[in-house]
Each structure stands twice: as structure tokens, then as C-alpha cells.
């Protein structure tokens, strides 16, 4: 067995590999960018090496720097995790040339399966059914446009080197093809350094089912059953489960045999996943087609571990060290059901935009059958440079319903404050009747966004009232400038309260605040101080909501303070209340008048402008594209008018809320005869 491993990754998967290595007595060596210098995987590893500045191409995608770090630290092997360089054949070759064992398949197998177009051609030769489409070498836009017309619409454009939902677009009409192609190519260059694409016929009502396979150096290959990954948003998996609902032993055997056949076609060694599209949301017994093979460990591997009792990371190390597979096909069974939810720093109510920021509060529940894989701690930053995943929550139960209930229960009570998250959205998915009944496909989320809470929501007035009540109790009980002799903060009293306290007794205060994108006023009715009391009673009113001074927090309610900002979480939904005047930003009195300001919806990079100063644009016309966390977001003109100003150029880093384009609406001062 190896004595030391360098982990060429970050976040929760790096932490997972560190745990697996420690179990086998292998010393772990982490790598980190400047943005991750104090991250969890650096804190938990036995040793850590800096590899560069925050942008991924300068750090986690810098193969030469990572190999140098492995050699310099005395590592015997390299584990790539998933994403970044995990399916990069050149990186695997560089490791081998440096005398480092690569925890993964051969570079030849990676090359054969790493590009979707070549993999499909290989599967056709091996007799594995593939989705109809174009996966030829020609990449000229005119040639691709002709191929698209031959396939018919709707269709999918996919980066040949893609994965993780990156570099994919559905195109419904010929008029949308050129723009979608350009967008996929930009995203593919950014994420994978390869902008070649393939085209596939879009299959209506598809289920996304994948089979976990494992091979050793003696030609033994097994499958560890399947996972259903059909709950997706923008082709990014959201909830995964094993086994697949509705799967019969016959179909499982057929798909398992096809997956093993695909692996044998490339003499596969190590962990891999063969992904299939299954036709028909209500008929999992329909036809299935090979989609791609991921030559690495998958994000969702814990659900397979839960139902098989197999430690897949341990198997990876053992196979790479030359051992045979620990189990044969007949030894691998299914124990219950497992479901995994991916917790992201994103805002479902605002188009799932990334929500980078500092984790003000973080507390994981300890519940039966629940496992949480995470790579952050309270106080860490979710940066704009990388994928916004915070953690994976995995629930295992005797039945699918028990697993879903356990996942929903964990999501209901966990605390994640600071960035907006999809915590409540995941819980709503677990509780959605059609999903629980097994009636879903890859379009389920997009068809049910409003029902799942992924739409603009009214301000939670009760949460605002709770924040004010919490703030008032804090003001009664502490005063920052009063200290004990040892420098600690002195205990407060009523006389320390920095409010409009009067000896006359009852009074009413008005508290200005900012929440839900607007300014507001809360009223606080403070009662007279009764005999024997050290603190008065009070009632907070905000809108139609009322909260008293005695805050009885429910199991799924949290209140956190950070300076002049209060974070209130109720069942995973966060309300942010700001009390400092300088932190508030008033909403315009009449957003329909005056110039229209197009602002960046998040911190990111302006990658494209489609208009110039003086040009006339139509309402909902595409005007710019901003990229953040490896995903592109298209900005549309809010009104018909003329471009008055462009405040940033492609390549610029832009802050959330920064004005990018100013449009003078039609009929404004810049228009007319």
C-alpha cells in the first residue's frame, strides 16, 4: 500500500479522500490556491503545498505545478478526485513520467472515453446503443448548423470534454443555434480547455441512470448497481439516489452488462461510471442509450457506498496499488435505499444565481442514517472562483420513503447562514408528491419551479420582526464600550441600553432597517419596568407580523448576528436584515422611469458584450454574458431603447450590483425627432 498521496483537488472531495487515506494509514498532502489557504482540506491534511493564485487555470488546473508539488513533497501517488484534472490524460501521463502512481484508469482509457464524440463512436463499434446525433470531427459552425438541421430540433449541444453539467445547452429552434453554440464553446474553453462539441437528439421525458463500475489489473470488472440522477437543474445534478426507482432485476442486469461491456472495450481499471439515458418518465423499462463514461469517482458516490457497504475510495487505493477487486459480482447486493442532496451557495428564488460569501453560521445535524460530506467550516468563504457546493447530505433508510424523510428532516434543521442556499429547495424536492411517487424525469424541476419555491418570494415579515426582537434584546443586554478590568465585555443592565429609554415607563421606538431589497420601519412597543424586573417586556411589529421580546426559537429557526446585519433562518429560508444606515440601499421610487440600469447579478467576470453605445435594443434582447463559478448567465435588456453607456468591457471582473449597461428607454430624452 502507498505511504503518501497528494490530492489534486479541493473542498469536500479532498476532505473525503483525506479520510479514506487516513483509514489505510496513508499520509495526505493537500494542494491549495491563495483563495483556499485556510480552507478545511488544508486544515485536515497532514501536509499542504501552495500551487498558485485563485483562478483555476493558475492553480487546480495547473498540471505542472501539481506534479511538482507531488514530487517535492515526496508523494507516492496522486488522487485527482473529480472535476479539474481528474479526466485529463496528459496529467495522468505527467504523473507516470514523474514516477507517481495515478489513482484512476490508464491515460489510454481516459482518452478513449474522455471525449464524448470518440466514446460514442467506440460504443457503436462495441454494440452499445447510443443517442442519435452528430459526433464527427468537423467543428466549423456552418457544418454543425447543417448537422443540426439533419438531426432536427430540439437538440442538445454538448462539449466533448464536458462534465458536471458544464458546456451543455438545449436548443429548441434553428434561430437559437448559433448563439447557443458560441455560449457552449466559451463555457467549455473556461472549464475544460477544449471547445469542441457534439450534437444529440433531445429525448423527451428522459431518465438519467448511471451504473457504477470497477475494474482491476487482472481483467475483473464488476458493477455496483445503478443510481438515478434525473433531478437536474441546467444539466447539473441536484438530488441522486440508489437504486433507481422502478428498476427491475432484468433491466438492471441489461444495463449492468452494457456498462461492463463499455469498460471492457477500453480495458478499464479503477472506478468509473457509465451514464445512460432511459426513455420515458413513467416507463423505466423503455429503451436505454449510452450517453458518456466518467473515468473518475462521481460526486454522488456516497449513495452507492450506502446501499452496497463498499468504501469506493478504499477500493480506488487498493486497485491502484495492484490488488484484485475485493468482491465478485455475486457478492454485491443492495441494502435499503439512499438519497443525496447537493447543498449549494445559490439563490433559487433569483434564478439559482451563485451566492458567494462568508459562512456566518454553520451547524450540521447529527441524525440516524444521515451522512454529511463537507469541506467548509463556519467563518470560511464560498468564493466566486470555484463550484459553489457547500456540502452533500446523504440519507440512508430501509425504504425510499424513509431515506427521503431522513434527508428532508436533516435539511429542515441544519444551519447555513451567510450566502443564500438551496436548502429549502432541496427539502421541497424531497417532499414533492410526484417525486416521492417515482413520477419524474430530467425536466421535473424546470416544470415545477414555482411549486418548489424557486421563484421570487414575498418578504418573510415575521423573520424581520424576529431579527428586530433579537437586536433589541442585544441592545438591552450589552454595551460594547463597557469592559471589565481584564478587558472582557461587562455584563449589561437596563441602564446600558442605547435606546430612547425614559423613566416614564412604557414607550414606542421606531427602528429603520433594510430587508428584501427595500427599506422599512419596525415599531417596538416597550412596556414599563415592573418591580423585580431587570429587562422590560416589549413587542415588535413589522407589517402584519408580531414578535415579542421572549424569543422561543423552534428547532428549525436560527438567528445569527454579524455586525449590523442579522440573518434569520426558518426551515432553510434565509432573511437578511440590515440595521446600519450605510449598509442599506433604497429601491427606486419608480423603477419604470428614467434610464434602465443593467447590473451584474453576482460577483463574476464579464465575458461578452453584444451591443455598443448608441445602438437600439429591443426588450428582452441579449446584451451581455457574465460568468461566475464556471457557469454563464445571460443578461437581457429590460426595455426597448438606446444604449446610453457601457461601464465595463469583456474580461473585466465585476461586483454584484455593479452597473454594466445603461439604456435610455424609447421615448426618453435621447429619442425623438
> Which range, 390-399, 490-499, 590-599, 659-668, is most confident?
390-399
Stretch 581-603: mean pLDDT: 56
Looking at the predicted structure, is the pLDDT value of residue 453 above 50?
A: yes
Non-local CB neighbours of 640 within 8 Å, separated by 6+ positions: 616, 617, 618, 619, 665, 666
Q: How far is CA 278 from CA 167, 237, 291, 340, 594, in A?
A: 21, 16, 10, 21, 51
Give the Cα separation of 434 and 438 in Å (integer): 6
Stretch 271-300: mean pLDDT: 82
Smallest Cα–Cα separation from 14: which of 411, 387, 506? 387
Instruction: Write the pLDDT tens digit of every residue in 238-282.
Output: 999 999 999 999 999 999 999 999 999 999 999 999 999 987 644
Give the pLDDT of residue 500.
45
Q: How large is the angle between the packed helices 249-264 and 116-126, nearest 10 degrees? A: 110
Torsion of CA 393, 398, 400, 401, to 10 degrees: -90
Q: How far is CA 439 from CA 303, 337, 645, in A?
A: 20, 17, 49
Q: How far is CA 606 from CA 194, 237, 387, 626, 650, in A?
A: 20, 26, 18, 4, 5
Specify the higher pLDDT residue, 637 or 69.
69
- Say whether domain 336-452 belongs to CATH 3.30.470.20: yes
Looking at the predicted structure, is the pLDDT value of residue 285 above 60?
A: no
| Level-2 CATH architecture, domain 4-103 | 3-Layer(aba) Sandwich (3.40)
Give the Cα separation of 19 and 23 in Å (integer): 6
DSSP 257: H
625-646: burial string, b at 16+ Cβ within 10 Å, e else:
bbbbbbbbbebebbbbbbbbeb
Specify the higher pLDDT residue, 600 or 463.
463
DSSP 634: E
Stretch 482-505: mean pLDDT: 49
- Give residue 487's pLDDT band: very low, low, confident or very high (50, 70, 90): low
Kindly report which listed range (278-282, 332-336, 470-474) carries the lowest average pLDDT score: 278-282
β partners of residue 598: 661
Domain limits, the chain: 4-103, 132-201, 207-330, 336-452, 461-482+489-583, 596-665
Give the pLDDT of residue 190.
80
pTM for the whole thing?
A: 0.80
Q: What does the DSSP assignment read for 285-351?
A: TS-EEEEEEE-S--TTHHHHHHHH---HHHHHHHHHTTPPPSS-GGG----SEEEEEEEESEEGGGT
Looking at the predicted structure, is the pLDDT value of residue 581 above 50?
A: no
Stretch 194-209: mean pLDDT: 89
Strand ranges for 461-537 from DSSP E: 507-515, 518-526
Give the pLDDT of residue 594.
65
- Residue 228, helix vs strand vs coil: strand
DSSP 549: S
Looking at the predicted structure, is the pLDDT value of residue 97 above 60?
A: yes
Which of the residues 207, 296, 384, 570 is marked catalytic? 296
DSSP 579: -
Instruction: Write the pLDDT tens digit of every residue in 128-168.
Output: 888 889 988 899 999 999 999 999 999 999 998 876 677 88
Q: What is the mean pLDDT of the chain?
A: 88
CATH code assigned to 207-330: 3.30.470.20
Looking at the predicted structure, is the pLDDT value of residue 124 above 90?
A: no
Q: How far is CA 460 from CA 239, 417, 465, 467, 541, in A?
A: 27, 16, 9, 11, 13
Looking at the predicted structure, is the pLDDT value of residue 373 above 80?
A: yes
Looking at the predicted structure, is the pLDDT value of residue 370 above 70?
A: yes
Smallest Cα–Cα separation from 30: which of 16, 9, 60? 9
What is the enclosing helix (H) or strand (E) of 188? helix 177-192
CATH, domain 461-482+489-583, list 3.30.700, 1.10.3470, 3.30.200, 2.40.128:
3.30.700
Location of C-alpha cell 469583456: 650
- Give residue 605's pLDDT band: very low, low, confident or very high (50, 70, 90): confident
Non-local CB neighbours of 143 within 8 Å, separated by 6+ positions: none
Instruction: Write the pLDDT tens digit of every residue in 507-531.
Output: 888 899 989 878 899 999 988 777 6
Give the pLDDT of residue 495.
42
Give the pLDDT of residue 480.
47
- Give residue 407's pLDDT band: very low, low, confident or very high (50, 70, 90): very high
Q: Where are the alpha helices (DSSP H) in 414-460?
A: 423-431, 433-436, 444-447
Stretch 585-607: mean pLDDT: 64
Instruction: Write the pLDDT tens digit of every residue in 13-33.
Output: 999 999 999 999 999 999 999
The percent of residues above 90 in pLDDT, for the chain, comes to: 66
- Give residue 553's pLDDT band: very low, low, confident or very high (50, 70, 90): confident
CATH, domain 132-201, list 3.40.50.12370, 3.40.50.2300, 3.30.1490.20, 3.40.50.10320:
3.30.1490.20
Stretch 292-299: mean pLDDT: 94
- Say whether domain 596-665 belongs to CATH 3.40.50.300: no
Stretch 408-430: mean pLDDT: 96
Give the pLDDT of residue 532.
66
Smallest Cα–Cα separation from 411: which of 453, 357, 381, 379? 453
Looking at the predicted structure, is the pLDDT value of residue 646 above 90?
A: yes
296 given a catalytic annotation: yes
Specify the higher pLDDT residue, 632 or 352.
352
Judge if 207-330 and 336-452 fold alike in CATH terms.
yes
Amino acid at each position: 500500500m502507498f505511504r503518501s498521496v497528494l490530492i489534486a483537488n479541493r473542498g469536500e472531495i479532498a476532505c473525503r479522500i483525506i479520510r479514506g487515506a487516513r483509514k489505510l494509514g496513508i499520509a495526505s498532502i493537500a494542494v491549495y490556491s491563495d483563495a483556499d489557504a485556510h480552507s478545511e482540506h488544508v486544515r485536515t491534511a497532514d501536509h499542504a503545498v501552495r500551487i498558485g493564485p485563485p483562478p483555476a487555470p493558475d492553480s487546480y488546473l495547473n498540471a505542472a505545478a501539481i506534479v511538482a508539488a507531488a514530487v517535492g513533497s515526496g508523494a507516492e501517488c496522486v488522487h485527482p478526485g473529480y472535476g479539474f484534472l481528474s479526466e485529463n490524460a496528459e496529467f495522468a501521463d505527467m504523473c507516470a513520467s514523474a514516477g507517481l502512481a495515478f489513482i484512476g484508469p490508464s491515460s489510454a482509457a481516459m482518452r478513449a472515453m474522455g471525449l464524448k464524440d470518440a466514446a460514442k463512436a467506440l460504443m457503436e463499434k462495441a454494440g452499445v446503443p447510443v443517442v442519435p446525433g452528430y459526433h464527427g470531427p468537423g467543428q466549423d459552425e456552418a457544418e454543425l448548423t447543417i448537422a443540426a438541421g439533419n438531426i432536427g430540433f430540439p437538440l442538445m449541444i454538448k462539449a466533448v470534454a464536458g462534465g458536471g453539467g458544464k458546456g451543455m445547452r438545449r436548443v429548441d429552434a434553428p434561430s437559437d443555434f448559433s448563439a447557443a453554440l458560441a455560449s457552449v464553446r466559451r463555457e467549455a474553453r473556461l472549464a475544460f480547455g477544449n471547445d469542441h462539441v457534439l450534437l444529440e437528439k433531445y429525448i423527451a421525458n428522459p431518465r438519467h441512470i448511471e451504473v457504477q463500475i470497477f475494474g482491476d489489473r487482472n481483467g475483473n470488472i464488476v458493477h455496483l448497481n445503478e443510481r438515478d440522477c434525473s433531478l437536474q437543474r441546467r444539466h447539473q445534478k441536484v438530488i441522486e439516489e440508489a437504486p433507481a426507482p422502478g428498476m427491475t432485476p432484468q433491466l438492471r442486469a441489461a444495463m449492468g452488462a452494457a456498462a461492463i461491456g463499455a469498460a471492457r472495450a477500453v480495458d478499464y481499471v479503477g472506478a468509473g461510471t457509465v451514464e445512460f439515458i432511459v426513455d420515458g418518465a413513467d416507463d423505466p423499462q423503455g429503451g436505454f442509450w449510452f450517453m458518456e463514461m466518467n473515468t473518475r469517482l462521481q460526486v454522488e458516490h456516497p449513495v452507492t457506498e450506502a446501499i452496497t457497504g463498499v468504501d469506493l475510495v478504499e477500493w480506488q487505493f487498493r486497485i491502484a496499488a495492484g490488488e484484485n477487486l475485493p468482491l465478485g459480482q455475486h457478492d454485491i447486493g443492495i441494502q435499503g435505499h439512499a438519497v443525496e442532496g447537493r447543498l449549494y451557495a445559490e439563490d433559487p428564488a433569483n434564478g439559482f444565481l451563485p451566492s458567494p460569501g462568508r459562512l456566518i453560521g454553520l451547524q450540521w445535524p447529527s441524525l440516524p442514517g444521515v451522512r454529511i460530506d463537507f469541506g467548509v467550516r463556519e467563518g470560511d468563504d464560498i468564493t466566486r472562483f470555484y463550484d459553489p457546493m457547500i456540502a452533500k447530505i446523504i440519507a440512508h433508510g430501509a425504504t425510499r420513503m424513509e431515506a427521503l424523510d431522513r434527508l428532508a428532516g436533516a435539511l429542515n434543521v441544519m444551519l447555513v447562514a451567510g450566502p443564500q442556499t438551496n436548502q429549502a429547495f432541496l427539502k421541497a424536492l424531497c417532499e414533492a408528491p410526484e417525486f416521492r411517487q417515482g413520477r419524474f424525469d430530467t425536466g421535473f424541476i424546470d416544470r415545477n419551479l414555482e411549486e418548489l419555491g424557486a421563484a421570487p418570494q414575498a418578504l418573510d415579515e415575521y423573520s424581520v420582526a424576529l431579527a428586530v426582537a433579537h437586536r433589541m434584546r442585544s441592545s438591552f443586554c450589552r454595551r460594547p464600550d463597557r469592559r471589565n478590568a481584564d478587558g472582557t465585555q461587562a455584563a449589561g443592565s437596563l441602564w446600558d441600553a442605547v435606546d430612547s429609554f425614559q423613566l416614564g415607563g412604557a414607550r414606542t421606538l421606531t427602528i429603520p432597517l433594510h430587508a428584501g431589497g427595500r427599506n422599512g420601519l419596525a415599531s417596538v412597543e416597550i412596556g414599563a419596568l415592573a418591580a423585580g424586573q431587570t429587562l422590560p417586556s416589549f413587542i415588535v411589529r413589522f407589517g402584519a407580523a408580531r414578535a415579542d421580546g421572549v424569543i422561543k426559537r423552534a428547532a428549525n429557526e436560527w438567528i445569527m448576528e454579524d455586525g449590523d446585519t442579522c440573518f434569520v433562518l426558518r426551515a432553510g429560508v434565509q432573511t437578511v436584515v440590515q440595521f446600519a444606515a450605510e449598509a442599506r440601499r433604497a429601491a427606486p421610487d419608480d423603477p419604470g422611469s428614467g434610464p434602465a440600469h443593467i447590473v451584474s447579478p453576482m460577483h463574476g467576470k464579464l465575458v461578452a458584450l453584444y451591443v455598443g453605445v448608441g445602438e437600439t435594443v429591443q426588450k428582452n434582447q441579449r446584451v451581455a454574458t457574465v460568468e461566475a463559478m464556471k457557469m454563464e448567465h445571460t443578461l437581457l435588456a429590460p426595455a426597448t431603447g438606446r444604449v446610453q453607456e457601457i461601464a465595463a468591457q469583456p474580461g473585466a471582473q465585476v461586483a454584484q450590483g455593479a452597473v454594466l449597461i445603461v439604456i435610455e428607454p424609447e421615448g426618453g430624452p435621447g429619442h425623438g425627432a
